[in-house]
Structure 1
Amino acid sequence: MICTKMRALRRLFATVDFGSREVPKEEKQKLVNEVFTRVAEKYDIMNDAMSLGIHRLWKDQFISDMGNFHTNSNLSFLDVAGGTGDIGFRIVEKLKQDIPSFYSGNQTWDLTISDINAEMLEVGKQRASALGYNINWVQANAEELPFEDNKFDFYTIAFGIRNVTDRLKALKEAKRVLKLGGRFMCLEFSKINYPVLDQVYSLYSQNVIPAMGKIIANDRDSYQYLVDSIEKFPSQEEFAALMNNAGFEYITHRDLTFGVVAIHSGIKL
């Protein structure tokens, strides 16, 4: 009985990081959702400003690391936290390049973009409509995906996993919805292993990015959260250990721009 009460108390007072502060675990998702509701319309503009446009190169490399789609056109993709469509649209363009029959009218591939935030999804839907892309859009929490087991060949998530309340639970969900042999891929801010460069980057992040948020989006606080959430995110090795705990195999990571971001990969076996 005492042990049961102690476990209940730990759950009651459990906290997680929300930027630079700790918040009750059950409150984080609501707070994150409020942030992305505020920044949705300016999200892509701010990405360009904050990274000096380099985020486009990171995302291009991320898609390139998915490999060649020539050998199998019957592929299914799930892009999680993909609201505005940056990764999903790149997947479509890669399919166009890799599969000669892409324009045949017989679409044999399937792409679903999910995001917990309705405003982010709406921005993506509008962009997709303008581009003529045929994509499934689903509002969903990464920790409780509304998809059956063994459904997708690829699960991608870019700059989204750090905003999830329970990252291990989200990783286990990723493994659940992947087919056997399916691949999990994550692009996320990481840790720079060069002390001087890390200090310069930290000064830039803490002083310049929130100021940009104020000027461009009239929202300093949301961008301060984004900076703080980057600093709180686990190192490359720590995140690899988390992927291992979720049951992935053949876990790798590749640093980009000296470790400012990293591409993480794992296979479901």
Structure 2
Amino acid sequence: MSTPHKPILKRYQTESERPGYVEDLFDRGAPYYDVIGKIGFLGSGHAYRKRALQLAGLKPGMRLIDVACGTGAVTRPGVEIVGDEGSVVAVDPSSGMMAEAKKTIDADFRRGRAEELPVEDNEFDFLSMGYALRHVSDLVLAFKEYLRVLKPGGKALILEISRPKTKVGMALAKLYFRDIIPAMSKVVTGSEDAEEMFAYYWETIEACVPPEDILAALKEAGFKNVERRPIMSIFSEYHAEKP
């Protein structure tokens, strides 16, 4: 099994407990996710995600699947890009997160996991995943599933946060993601669920395998033209294409 990180022992003890913990956590934290995301990233997320999708090849009229859609941070710009001639399927294991997304986004929402997508083979032109790769149970298994649902020549864009390699970068990341964001979440929302959700956010970043392992897993799954584009040393864009 190619896991993105070992079990976070303060949250759950075994790999088999991970899906249930993550689903419950995001169900509880869903009402607060968007407001903290907008404050924490100064409202810049939508424009960046839309531009990243366009540069990766998403175009009007395409059929898009957004995996681990959450509250729709990537789904929303995806819908805008493909337009009325295209279509978007958004998949997530958390009914709470999808309930928030459905309030403002017109897409086909389906409950499911990255490792077992509830769609047919060779159905999509483009696959996206935004900052959720750390929560899958098996990287290669998930990537093989991505390959299955894409049409030949279809493209995948995976956005993720990577652990900084320099001491200064790591210190700054810890300060912001480990200390500031969870504390701010509790202050702004008054919710311990929101605080736990964003504390876990950093814990998975810190424990996650390096980008080289993710690139290797994409290649092992069968993707071609696999590459990583680092942004500001902490954000990663993984690009891949189905043969």
Q: Does 1:228 align with 2:203?
A: yes
Q: CA deviation at 1:21?
A: 6.2
Could you tell me whether the CA contact under 8 Å between 1:19 and 1:225 is conserved in 2? no
Q: CA deviation at 1:68?
A: 5.9
Aligned pair partner of 2:13 in 9, 12, 23: 23
Q: CA deviation at 1:163?
A: 1.1
Question: Secondary structure in 1 aligned to 2:152?
Answer: strand
Could you tell me whether the CA contact under 8 Å between 2:50 and 2:78 is conserved in 1? no
Could you tell me whether the CA contact under 8 Å between 1:16 and 1:28 is conserved in 2? no
Question: Secondary structure in 2 aligned to 1:143?
Answer: coil
Task: Show structure 2 runs of 5+ residues with no match.
Answer: none
Q: Which residue of 2 aligns with 1:99?
A: none
Question: Root-mean-square deviation (CA), in Å?
Answer: 2.2
Q: Which residue of 2 aligns with 1:6?
A: none
Normalising by structure 2, what TM-score?
A: 0.89
Between the aligned partners of 1:127 and 1:183, the Cα distance in structure 2 is: 26
What pairs with 1:171-210 in structure 2 (closer than 5 Å)? Answer: 171-210=143-182
What pairs with 1:8-19 in structure 2 (closer than 5 Å)? Answer: 16-18=6-8
Q: Does 1:111 align with 2:111?
A: no
Q: CA deviation at 1:222?
A: 2.1
Between the aligned partners of 2:9 and 2:122, the Cα distance in structure 1 is: 34
Output the amino acid matched with 1:33.
Answer: E
What pairs with 1:26-105 in structure 2 (closer than 5 Å)? Answer: 26-67=16-57, 69=59, 73=61, 75-96=62-83, 102=84
Question: Secondary structure in 1 aligned to 2:13?
Answer: strand
Percent identity of the aligned residues? Answer: 28
Between the aligned partners of 1:92 and 1:30, the Cα distance in structure 2 is: 29
What pairs with 1:254-269 in structure 2 (closer than 5 Å)? Answer: 254-256=229-231, 258-269=232-243
Question: Secondary structure in 2 aligned to 1:182?
Answer: strand
Larger Rg, first or second structure (1 or 2): 1
Q: CA deviation at 1:41?
A: 0.7
Q: CA deviation at 1:171?
A: 1.1
Could you tell me whether the CA contact under 8 Å between 2:123 and 2:151 is conserved in 1? yes
Between the aligned partners of 2:44 and 2:234, the Cα distance in structure 1 is: 11
Between the aligned partners of 1:188 and 1:45, the Cα distance in structure 2 is: 20
Between the aligned partners of 1:163 and 1:68, the Cα distance in structure 2 is: 24
Q: Which residue of 1 aligns with 2:102?
A: 125
**In 2 relative to 1, CA 19–241 (structure 1 residues): closer, same or farther, beyond 3 Å?**
farther
Normalising by structure 1, what TM-score?
A: 0.81
**In 2 relative to 1, CA 16–22 (structure 1 residues): closer, same or farther, beyond 3 Å?**
farther
Question: Secondary structure in 2 aligned to 1:17?
Answer: coil
**In 2 relative to 1, CA 16–194 (structure 1 residues): closer, same or farther, beyond 3 Å?**
closer
**CA offsets per residue over residues 201-224 of structure 1, 9 Å max, x none?**
222222112211221231222221
**CA offsets per residue over residues 130-151 of structure 1, 9 Å max, x none?**
xxx3x21101111111212111
Between the aligned partners of 2:41 and 2:110, the Cα distance in structure 1 is: 28
Between the aligned partners of 2:50 and 2:228, the Cα distance in structure 1 is: 16
Higher helix proportion, which one?
Answer: 1
Could you tell me whether the CA contact under 8 Å between 2:69 and 2:75 is conserved in 1? yes
**In 2 relative to 1, CA 19–169 (structure 1 residues): closer, same or farther, beyond 3 Å?**
farther
Task: Show structure 1 runs of 5+ residues with no match.
Answer: 1-9, 97-101
Between the aligned partners of 1:19 and 1:35, the Cα distance in structure 2 is: 15
Q: CA deviation at 1:178?
A: 0.8
Output the amino acid matched with 1:93.
Answer: E
Between the aligned partners of 1:34 and 1:153, the Cα distance in structure 2 is: 31
Aligned pair partner of 1:165 in 137, 149, 155: 137
**In 2 relative to 1, CA 116–68 (structure 1 residues): closer, same or farther, beyond 3 Å?**
closer
